């Protein structure tokens, strides 16, 4: 199984198009969206490409391949437009190697406030807009960064899970972080 991760699109149709194009080119089985999909977020600047309805038009045709969780900027109004479930604060995915993948946005559960986890579980989150792929103690923390508002001098990025490896890449294909699980 191959998974493609994106977070923090924030209603930007240009970023969403990059995500869809990269997802389709990757051959991933599923597109995992870690929240903040349509709303730009009042703390973020309005930048070129703000078009939530355009993002909806790009994502809805992929609905059967999307696994999503709610971010702090996502709302019931957003859910009314999207054809895939969005309103859960977290979700679990069982990986082929038997590890559990805890999906969340990061505003409730994050490395400083963990849900009950088992040894070797992976926490995949967004919210900070910073790429992370690393073991910390008995758990793996994975953040694909942001496709619209990258922070920390990073470029826009996304994540992949393939062959028991989690990687964060920029859209030029450079690996920003990676770890085996």
114-161 tens-digit pLDDT: 999 999 999 999 999 999 999 999 999 999 999 999 999 999 999 999
User: Residue 52 is part of which domain span?
Assistant: 3-180
**Cβ count near 180 (within 10 Å):** 11
**Quick one: pLDDT at residue 155?**
97
Give the pLDDT mean for 68-80. Answer: 96
Question: Helix crossing, 13-26 with 52-59: angle to 10°?
Answer: 20
Q: Is the pLDDT of residue 162 over 90?
A: yes
> For the domain that residue 106 is a member of, what is the CATH number?
3.60.21.10
Q: Specify the number of domains making up the chain.
A: 1
Contacts of residue 66, defined as CB under 8 A and 6 or more positions apart, other chains included, come to 30, 31, 32, 33, 59, 84
């Amino acid at each position: 199984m191959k998974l493609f991760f994106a977070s923090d699109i924030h209603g930007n149709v240009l970023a969403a198009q990059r995500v869809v194009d990269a997802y389709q080119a990757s051959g991933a089985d599923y597109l995992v969206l870690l929240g903040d999909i349509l709303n730009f977020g009042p703390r973020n600047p309005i930048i070129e490409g703000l078009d939530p309805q355009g993002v909806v038009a790009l994502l809805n045709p992929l609905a059967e391949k999307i696994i999503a969780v709610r971010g702090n900027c996502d709302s019931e109004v957003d859910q009314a437009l999207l054809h895939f479930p969005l309103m859960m604060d977290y979700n679990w995915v069982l990986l082929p190697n038997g590890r559990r993948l805890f999906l969340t946005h990061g505003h409730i559960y994050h490395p400083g406030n963990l849900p009950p986890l088992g040894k070797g579980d992976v926490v995949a989150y967004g919210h900070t807009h910073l790429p992370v792929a690393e073991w910390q103690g008995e758990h793996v923390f994975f953040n694909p960064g942001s496709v619209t508002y990258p922070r920390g001098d990073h470029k826009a990025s996304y994540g992949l899970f393939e062959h028991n490896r989690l990687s964060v890449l920029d859209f030029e294909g450079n690996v920003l972080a990676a770890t085996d699980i």
